[in-house]
Amino acid sequence: MAGSQWLRCVLVLAMAVLGVQAIDIDVSSEDSIKNAASIAAYGMMKHYKGNESGEIPGKIPNTWWEGGAMFMTLIQYYHYTGDSTYNSEVIQGMQWQAGDCDYMPANWSSYIGNDDQMFWGLAAMTAAELNFPDSSDGYSWLSLAQGVFNTQVARWDNTTCNGGMRWQIYTYESGYTMKNSISNGGLFQLSARLARYTSNNTYYEWAERIWDWTTTTPLLSNSTWNVADSTSTTNDCSTQGDDQWSYNYGAFLGGAAYMYNYTNGTGTKWSTAVSGLLNRTLDKFFPSSHGGYIMEEILCEPLEVCNNNEIIFKGLVAAWLAYTAYLVPSTYDSILPKLQGSAKGAAATCTGYGNNTCGVRWWNNTWDGWSGLEEQMSVLSIFSVNMLPYTNSSAAPLTSSTGGNSTSDPSAGTDDSSKDKATLSTITTGDRAGAGVVTVVFAAAWIGMMGWLMIG
C-alpha cells in the first residue's frame, strides 16, 4: 500500500471512530441500555443551566411546563438505571418551583395553564411512586401531587358543558374558553394515581367523574377511542378540534391503566378502556409505513414542523406505555416490541455534531439536523423504559401499602387560594395583554387550538 493510501485508510478509520459517533443500543443488554441512557441524559443536561449561579432552578428559558416534564424524565431515568448523577438538580428544581405546595409559583402562576401545572404534579407523583429521595427540607412528593389535585379540582367548571377542566385558569388567558384533552386527561391520570397510591377512594371518584364527563364530549369516544385535542365552551362543547397528538392518548391510557390496577382488574370498564386506547395509540403513532415499531408524532413529523412542546410528547407516551405494561400485565407483550423498536430508531438519530446529539424523527435511520433539550428528553425516556424486561413487578409504581412512604397531606395546597387571587388582582390591563401573548407562546396545545379555529 502506498503512503497516501495508508493515510487515507487511517483517516477513514479515524472518522469512523471519532467523526460519526452514534449511540449503539442493544436492547437485549442492560449495560447497553444504561450506557445509551446516560449519554442521552448528559446531552440533555448540557442544555439545562438551572443549577448554575444567577439562574433559576427548575426554569427552562421560554417555557415553564417543560421543567416538570424534564424532572419527570430524570426521576424515571434514576429509577430504571440507578444513576443518581442528576438527583440533586431534580430535588432543587422540583422544590424551587413548588409554590405553596401546589406548583403555582408566584413568578409564573398568572399565566400558566392547567396542563402546565399538571405536568409538575405528575412529576411529583412519579417521585412518590418510585421512592425518589426526599428533599431534606422541602415538601414531600406525595403532598405536592395532592396540592396540584386540590387546586385543580377546585377549578372544575360546572358552568359550561356540565363540567370539565378548562385549558387555562384565568379569563384573560388565550384559550380560557376551551376545554382540552391534556388538562382533563392529566387530572384524570393524577387522580387515578393518587387513588392507587393512597387507597383514598375520593381520588377514584374524581378520576371516574373526569373520565365520564370527558366521554360525554367530543374529546374522548368510548366506542371509537378517538381522542380529540380540544372543544369549546362557546358552543357547549359540541365541536371538536380533532388534531391527533400522542400525549392526549397517553394521558388517558396511563390513567385507565391505574384505574384498572386500583380496582384489581374487576369489571370491564377499565380493561376495555385500556384495550381500546392502547389499540388506537399503537395503530396511530407507530405507523406501518415505518415498519410499525417506531413511534412518530404523526401531525408534525412528516413536514418536520414540531415545536418544542410537541417534541417531548413521544417521551411522555413512552413512560406511560411502560406503566401500562406494569399495571395491566396483559398489555406487556404488545407494548415491549414498540418500545424496543423506537429505542433502536431513536439511537440511530444520535449522530449529530459528532457528540451524540439526537434528532426528532426516529424512523429514518439518520440524524435529521434537529437538536435541543427536548430532543434529548424524548430519547432519554425511550432508552430508560427499555429496562422494562430487566425489572419485575417490584419495579412497578409503588403504593403506600407496597413500600411507597412519601408523606401524605390531603389538604396540601388548599390554603393559598387567597394568595393566588391577590396575585391576580394586582395584574394591570397591560400585564393581561402581555400575559395573553406569553400564554400563546408557552401553552402546550397551540397547534391544537389552531386546528379548532379552522374546524370551528
Contacts to ligand NAG by CB under 6 A: 42-43, 46, 51-52, 56, 59, 85-86, 89, 96-97, 105, 107, 131, 134, 156, 158, 200, 202, 209, 212, 215-216, 222, 261, 263-266, 269, 272, 275-276, 279, 326-329, 353, 355, 357, 364, 366, 392-394, 396, 405, 407, 410
Cα torsion at 327, 333, 339, 344 (round to 10°)?
150
Grid coordinates belonging to 29: 443488554
315 vs 361 by CB, closer to ligand NAG: 361
> From CA 212, how far away is CA 193, in angstroms rounded?
17
Nearer to ligand NAG, 171 or 279 (CB): 279
Q: Please list, in sequence order, all residues whose beta carbon lies within 8 angstroms of the beta carbon of residue 229, skipping any fewer than 6 positions away.
A: 180, 181, 182, 241, 242, 243, 244, 245, 248, 445, 448, 451, 452
In angstroms, what is the minimal distance from the CB of 396 to ligand NAG?
3
Q: C-beta of 204: minimal distance to ligand NAG in Å?
A: 8
What is the Cα–Cα distance from 162 to 180, expressed in whole angstroms? Answer: 14
- Count other Cβ atoms within 10 Å, centred on residue 289: 9
**Nearer to ligand NAG among residue 26 and residue 83 (C-beta):** 83
Residue 123 near residue 69 (C-beta atoms within 8 A): yes
Q: How far is the CB of 10 from ligand NAG (least distance, A)?
A: 25
CB nearer to ligand NAG: give 175 or 359.
359
Cβ-based nearer residue to ligand NAG, 225 or 247: 225
CB of 89 to ligand NAG, least distance (A): 5
Measured from the CB atom, the residue of 63 and 451 that comes closer to ligand NAG is 63
The residue (of 127 and 449) whose beta carbon lies closer to ligand NAG is 127
Q: In the bound complex, what is the minimum distance in angstroms from residue 302's beta carbon to ligand NAG?
A: 8
In angstroms, the CA 135 to CA 124 distance is 12
Count Cβ atoms below 10 Å from residue 158 Cβ, excluding itself: 9
Q: How many CA atoms are closer than 13 Å to the CA of 104, on its beta-carbon side?
A: 27
Q: Which helix (H) or strand (E) holds 232?
A: strand 230-232
Least Å distance, CB 7 to ligand NAG, is 28
Shortest Cβ 282–ligand NAG spacing (Å):
9
